[in-house]
Structure 1
Amino acid sequence: MDHANFSAKLEPFLLMSKSVKGAAAAKLIQDATAAPGVFVFSELLELPNIQELGKSEQHRKFLTLLQLFAFKTYQDHLQHKDALPPLNQAQIIKLKYLTIVSLAAERRILPYADLLKALDISNQKEEQLEVTYTAGRDLEPGKLEQVLAALKGWANTTSAVLTTLDAKINSIAADTAAQKLNQQEHERILQAHLKEVFEKQKEKSMGGGMASRRAAFQMGDRENMMDVDEPDNKGKNRKASSEAAPKPSRKRNKF
């Protein structure tokens, strides 16, 4: 709801009220309180020719009607019907809307029992009405200090909530920073261990390779030594064989 829009809806009645008195002014009040979208009435109520209705026995009840829509509730209508003109259906519905606005100004969750009493309703499924948005009403004379006190209380509550939120945000930020440091330290230690394992594996691999090469070198030496000895043995064996073999005898022919 836009309060500026409410004022715009009231504007035609303000213009007409400047030139009406008596019965015409009373009729204007009836029309304004029943008109769709008109929910604020203080500007109309403050006009001198409207205030003059209170001086007339015949038209006084219409001034009371305008005060009812400006400041009061549906319960006030029920309690003072004799001092008011009869209300049509549009006026009753609007007055109930305004009553809810007044209740919502005091609390956000409206209990079923309070609504039943204030609006004369017989059924409400959840037994309460939750108000998410409401409009302001005309400020009744003498209520300014009450409104200021309510605003001060709201400001104090808001400040306390903001302080709590700031503390919570700072706590979360500190926890996040600590977790980040712990993670970095964990990563550093992990990398150090991985490096240490890698170095040990590298040293072990290098030591095994040198041992293998040393063993291979020794085996090569043995084979070379065997290759050197074998020809000598074969030569000696051949010589021995040739010496051991008998020489063929030559027979001479005698004539």
Structure 2
Amino acid sequence: MNETNSVLSTNQKLQPFLLLSKSVKGAANAKLIMDALSASGVFVFTELYESPNLVEASTLPEVAPYYKLLSIYLYGTWKDYKQFMSELPALNENQVKKLKILSMATLSESQQTLPYDMLLSELDIPTVRELEDLVIDAFYQGVLTGTLDQRKRQLQVMSSMGRDLRPQQLEETMDILASWSENTTRLLQALDAKIASLQEAVQMNDQAREQYNNEVEQLRRQIHSNNNDKATKPDVGEWDELTRTMDVESGAATPGDERGMRKKGLTGDSPFSDYSSERVKKR
């Protein structure tokens, strides 16, 4: 049985006592309280505690101790009852068991792992066997869910039924929730600022990458263009050699060129020059 079903069940089982509270007057409210505390499966008492006739009767000396006892079942523990036992009515076996089960629910609010030694002390239970029987009964009633670890001697609580709110507990809870909401808002604002900063950094990186790629592409094109120019324009040495050859063919060789041409047999001092003259005379 989960927590929601458990609360619905105990509320349904409380309904007969709420109906009776509308008609019960005066000292009869004391018996009504004791009957509700003994009823099986009833673990939530706020509606009964706030019923108009019971509130009115709580000022009566014969009802006031029972009304105070009812408040302990709302949000108190077995230790609270022991502290004021002399001022409160005596409990029967079922009422003792119920208060101890509710005490375990309260203890589980602050820690999920409840050692056997702590439970034995808090609940005044003499043996481990009696403690385990009580825990199993709490499981069966839907007040607790969890596991018993006999080797480690501890109760591991997975969930527990919510108890009635103590006086001022609602305001305390609202304050805690308000503080949590403020902290959450500040955290979300910090996260939004961090996200905006990261987005700006990403944008700047993208722009820098784009600029870098453009500069690389421009440099690549420039290098390609220079290579094309070198391929179409002759070397300076090749250009001078080509110019001298053209001057020789046109007869405009320079003195320096003639010396070179003599060595190559290209000037008038060549043995072939007379032969050429003779052929011209014959013609």
1:57 to 40, 61, 68: 61
CA distance in 2, matches of 1:142, 1:15: 28
Q: Is the 8 A contact 1:74 1:118 kept in 2?
A: yes
C-alpha distance after superposition, 1:126-157 (max 9, x if no partner): 3321112210110111112444567789999x
- Alignment of 1:98 with 2:102, yes or no, is yes
Show the counterpart of 1:29: 33
The one-letter amino acid of 1:50's match is L
Query: 1-side partners of 2:17 and 2:56: how far apart?
Result: 17
The match for 2:168 is 142
- The residue correspondences of 1:16-165 to structure 2 (distance < 5 A) are 16-124=20-128, 125=150, 126-148=152-174
Question: In 2, distance between residues paired with 1:153 and 1:110?
Answer: 29
Number of matched residues? 159
**Aligned partners of 1:150, 1:120: CA distance in 2, in Å?**
33
- Give the deviation of 1:55 after TM superposition: 1.2
Q: Which runs of 5+ in 2 are unaligned?
A: 129-149, 184-283
1:42 and 1:95 map into 2 onto residues whose CA distance is 15
| Corresponding residue for residue 214 of structure 1 | none
Does the 8 Å CA contact 1:26/1:59 hold for their aligned counterparts? yes
- What one-letter code is carried by the residue in structure 2 that aligns with 1:130? Q
In 1, the alpha carbon distance for the partners of 2:25 and 2:109 equals 35
Identity %: 44
Structure 1: unaligned runs, 5 residues or longer: 157-255
Q: Which has the larger radius of gyration?
A: 1
How far 1:110 moved relative to its partner? Answer: 1.3
Superposition misfits of 4+ residues, deviation over 6 angstroms: 149-156
Equivalent residue letter for 1:100: M
Name the amino acid aligned to 2:21.
S
CA shift for structure 1 position 15 = 0.5
**Root mean square deviation, CA, Å:** 2.6
* TM-score calculated relative to the size of structure 1: 0.56
8 Å CA contact 2:78–2:99 kept in 1: the answer is: yes
Q: Distance in 2 between matches of 1:130 and 1:152?
A: 31
1:184-223 equivalences under 5 Å are none
Shift in CA distance, 90/150, structure 1 to aligned 2, threshold 3 Å? farther
